Amino acid sequence: MSVSTAYFDFVFRSKNEVTADLEDSIEQLEKRQQKVAELQSLVDKRSSTKRLKRLAKWTALAEASEANNDELIGRLNSLNEVELPKDEVTFGIWNPTDDISGIQVTVTDSPYDDAFVGGQRTALYLRGTGNRNNRGGIGSVGSRASLVPASFEDDTETFGIAGSNWTSKVDGSYPDVTASLLQGYSPSEGATTTQSFVTEIISDGQVVI
């Protein structure tokens, strides 16, 4: 089911428009206030009818900009009261059969949030570290696998990966295990893809999710 709605689209678009207008208005106010300060300095040095008229004109313009800023800030505050859906990612250990384990990942891709960017391939990265099975010495392992297809966006869906090679990473063999997503991942990029939504799965031998 789509996360977006016509109302949320309107709020999101309006927030962007009002924010841009406010930035322009603030810049305009700063310029007008600078002009007022310059004219006030001239009037202070030598007052004249012409200078006073120009000072009054630019003062009125600056006041108009201040009023516009106040109006835009009020509109933006009202829009910010609407809570737009955010991207969410949750991990869980998955046991599709008694002897096979893996990871399930539930992803919500909101078009109003850029933490997760849908419409591109995303991989699961699982990393285990520590004294494996108390055998002595420090070991580590990292595995990557395609998880979210490029067709997924503006939706909520659960994806899972399981198998014998994943079981050994979540069965306590490694006392510290983290899971993360590699967005925009392709096999040719390897480990250079930035991890996102890094989450502890196992810590000090205890499952924490």
The yes-or-no verdict on residue 137 having pLDDT over 60 is: no
Other C-beta atoms closer than 10 Å to the C-beta of 207 total: 13
User: What's 164's domain CATH number?
Assistant: 2.60.40
The yes-or-no verdict on residue 194 having pLDDT over 70 is: yes
Query: Both 102 and 17 in a single domain?
Result: no
pLDDT averaged over every residue in the chain: 92
Among candidate residues 19, 41, 30, the one with its CA nearest the CA of residue 66? 30
The yes-or-no verdict on residue 134 having pLDDT over 80 is: no
The yes-or-no verdict on residue 164 having pLDDT over 90 is: no
- Of 80, 98, 117, the one marking the end of a domain is 80
The yes-or-no verdict on residue 131 having pLDDT over 80 is: no
Query: Both 121 and 64 in a single domain?
Result: no
Specify if 25 maps to a domain. yes
Return the DSSP state at 184: T
The yes-or-no verdict on residue 192 having pLDDT over 60 is: no
Q: Is the dihedral of CA 162, 167, 171, 175 positive or negative?
A: negative
Query: Both 99 and 50 in a single domain?
Result: no
- What are 40-79's pLDDT values in tens digits? 999 999 999 999 999 999 999 999 999 999 999 999 999 9
| Domain carrying residue 55 | 6-80
User: In degrees, to the nearest 5, what angle opens at C-alpha 96 toward C-alphas 100 and 156?
Assistant: 130
Query: Both 47 and 143 in a single domain?
Result: no
